[in-house]
Amino acid sequence: MTKVAGARAQYLGGTPGDRSFALLHEPDAAAPARDVAVLLCSPFGNDDLCTYRVRREWAQQLAAAGFATLRVDLPGCGDGEGGPRDPGRAAAWTQALDGAARWLRAQTGCARVAALGIGLGGLLACEAASAGAPIDDLVLWAVPARGRTFVRELRALARLEAANDTAAAAQSDDGALASAGYVLSAETLAALEALDLAQRTLPDGTARRALLLERDGLAPDPRLRTMLDEAGVAVTVAPGPGYGTMVAEPHRALAPREVFETVAAWLAEPAPASAPHTDADAAAPPPAEEALELVVDGTPVRETPFAIARPSGELFALLSEPAEGERAPLTLLLLNAGAQRHIGPNRMWVEIARRWAARGVPVVRVDLPGIGDAQGEDDAWGDDEGFYVERFTDDTLAVLDALQARGLPPRFVLGGLCSGAYWSFHAALRDERVASALMLNSRALFWDHGLDARREARNVSKVVNPVTWLKLLRGRITRERARLVLRSALDALLGLPARLAAHRRRRVAGDELAHALDVLEARATALVAVFTASEPLLDELERSGKLARMRERTHVWVEAIPGPLSSHTLEPLPLQGAVHGIVDDALERELARAGGPADARAQEALR
């Protein structure tokens, strides 16, 4: 196993298409010896995105208390193999949890495995246990007893998103459901709706125990409690404060430390004398590999996790590259979108990496300090401004050094969304090895303390504009949106002194953008700026006349995707498709410029 950023990384499962990615947090040598290992089963979609860093901390806390803990990305999710529209996902998920539990028992030698499941992860863990997976104990938080309940809540959330006239329909033509940009196919939806734990039986229930956590005061699903009681499971119900703050935006999500302590104490309690599973009746664990060999569009691709040393701790990186044949003369580096981990918004970085690795381009997706699986402090994320500091550009350049030392082509294309776009731009300004920067919905090109205040000030004009109130009366603006505008306007008025001071500083500084573009043009560095509708930076560039001047530059492409669809983090599937196409075109151009293998479309794009 490869140790990366404090955890041991491996791919589990021998069936091509259905392999999981797993990270094992080994118990602290100074901690008490435990005979229980923990399988941490993640929620789905947006909840998975928001709680990722919290779950990593939870695994570290459990390991510090002596409990070996395994985190898993299931097939078609995160860094797992395959995609969400592949057939048989629900069955593959339960089988993957079965295999992960078997591997964890064999690897640690623990007598018991406890599945700690949140949301859909808990439902799947119960389903796997009822089917014979070597899961002895259950810790369940916000877990429904029926898949139909989960799907209904997901549909309601998707309809709420689609109610906005800038969002796409919740359900696609093929019956797939998209919620917060994450997809469940029609087949997977049907399979999940058919899950009903009340119709399942947990064998050897008297040898098991379960901890059901409330959800910020809401009782656990009573059907779940009934199923466990009828099976003879020793059930404990405990408070679960902090669920709501745990599923906040990734940079604002807070660890529910009281729940951490509750779960660790419960796991440490004496278990039943007998276990429902023994080594004698357990099937062989699945194979574990340090790299994933997969086939993408008929082409073999290899994916390998590795670490990059930094003063703040190790960074987590994952390389997708062609397993054979010619390698392109450039490397694509995909950076974090704010506090989102290295899979990218809506898992787009995984799709881009594997697609372009099959085209011969080595692609690295990385977690910078304090984000995703990287080491480093993450307590600065309460304020968006914490991402727009020079040290992240320093870290990006250090990653380039590490990739070059690893033998990857030193002609780099950097890509990122939001703050990742900002880091790409500034790394390109500082390092001639950057041949191109792909900037998706950059929030700023140059950051200053008054930026948010100036943008909020524009909401003042919206408040006094009669058109705003006419739209409200006609129902074209929701009351919640109106309250947000009013609140932003008040904040803008209170911040007027700071805003004026920042404006004076920017006038003295001169036109930073023109100078930056001169630097990039002198190096023939390409700049691809992509904006969806309603992005504030796009509006500011257009109003100032800088957008037109950018488009006059030889190596600058500005792509504005027209509305009505708009989403900063690209949740609507049509927006994702449009951005994939723009990224592909940009990489085709860069391949042609680098003299690598490129098709006729790339050559045409250069003309």
Answer whether residue 217 shows pLDDT above 60: yes
Residues 553 and 422: their CA atoms lie apart, in Å, by 19
Answer whether residue 606 shows pLDDT above 50: no
Residue recorded with tokens 């810790």: 139
In this prediction, residue 449 carries a pLDDT of 73
Residues 378 and 151: their CA atoms lie apart, in Å, by 33
Plot region of 130 (φ>0 → left; ψ -120 to 50 → alpha; else → beta): alpha
AA identity, residue 442: S
**Domain 7-146+195-285 homologous superfamily, CATH:** Alpha/Beta hydrolase fold, catalytic domain (3.40.50.1820)
Distinct helix (H) and strand (E) counts, the chain: 20, 21
- pLDDT band for 280, please (50, 70, 90 cuts): very low
- From residue 204, alpha-carbon distances to 207, 209, 230, 274 in Å are 6, 11, 11, 9
Residue-wise pLDDT for 93-117, tens only, equals 999 999 999 999 999 999 999 999 9
Residues 317 and 23: their CA atoms lie apart, in Å, by 13
AA identity, residue 414: L
Residue-wise pLDDT for 530-570, tens only, equals 999 989 999 999 999 999 999 999 999 999 999 888 899 99
- Written in H, E and C, the secondary structure of 375-421 is CCCCCCCCCHHHHCCHHHHHHHHHHHHHHHHCCCCCCEEEEEECHHH
On the question of a common fold for 7-146+195-285 and 292-441+511-606, the answer reads yes
Instruction: Report which of 556, 566, 457 is spatially closest to residue 514, judged by C-alpha positions.
Output: 556
Residue-wise pLDDT for 331-358, tens only, equals 999 999 999 999 999 999 999 999 999 9
292-441+511-606 topology per CATH: Rossmann fold (3.40.50)
Share of the chain above pLDDT 70, in %: 85
In this prediction, residue 276 carries a pLDDT of 85
Record the pTM.
0.90
Residue 350's φ and ψ, nearest 5 degrees, are -65, -45
**First CA to last CA across the chain, in angstroms?**
48
User: What are the extents of the domains in the chain?
Assistant: 7-146+195-285, 292-441+511-606, 447-510
Both tokens of 434, joined, read: 């950057």
Which residue intervals of 25-76 are DSSP H helices? 46-64
In this prediction, residue 600 carries a pLDDT of 41
**Residue 188 · residue 234 · CB < 8 Å:** no
Share of the chain above pLDDT 90, in %: 77
How does DSSP classify residue 327?
-
Instruction: Report which of 436, 439, 438 is spatially closest to residue 330, judged by C-alpha positions.
Output: 436
How does DSSP classify residue 215?
B
- pLDDT band for 602, please (50, 70, 90 cuts): very low
- What radius of gyration do the chain's Cα atoms show? 25
Answer whether residue 245 shows pLDDT above 60: yes
Who contacts 306 (Cβ-Cβ below 8 Å, separation ≥6)?
Answer: 2, 4, 317, 318, 319, 406
**Residue 157 · residue 206 · CB < 8 Å:** no
